Amino acid sequence: MDIIHMLALRGTRKILLTLEKAAKMRYSEIVKVVGYSTTTTRALKSMERHGIVKREVLNEPYRPVSYALTDKGRKLVTFLKELESL
């Protein structure tokens, strides 16, 4: 999946803007904001593959996962905001 298709996935923009506001968020926190769907999971996996988000498995008993924007992800959010302001 190329980056254009990734950006077209439902929820991608909302995930990016949500992660922009927090340094790091657990998957369950993202789902509370965006809503759970297989599309949310697919979008996060695609963003990870493209280097837009970093996925980290936390060292806790039930192995929660957190996500954070990478530098590339922050640049993409800036670009999307500029594009929306046109």
Total structural domains in the chain? Answer: 1
> Comparing 58 with 73, which gets the higher pLDDT?
73
The reported pLDDT for the residue numbered 76 is: 92
Share of the chain above pLDDT 90, in %: 47
CATH of residue 50's domain is: 1.10.10.10
pLDDT bucket at 72, cuts 50 / 70 / 90? very high
Contact assessment for residue 14 and residue 78, using Cβ atoms and an 8 Å cutoff: no
SS3 call for 28: helix
Share of the chain above pLDDT 70, in %: 99
Q: Which domain holds residue 7?
A: 3-84
pLDDT bucket at 73, cuts 50 / 70 / 90? very high
The reported pLDDT for the residue numbered 71 is: 96
Q: Rounded CA gap, 75 and 52, in Å? A: 9
Query: What Cα–Cα distance (Å) separates residue 18 from each residue in 14, 21, 24, 48, 61?
Result: 6, 6, 10, 15, 26
Q: Rounded CA gap, 13 and 10, in Å? A: 8
pLDDT bucket at 1, cuts 50 / 70 / 90? low
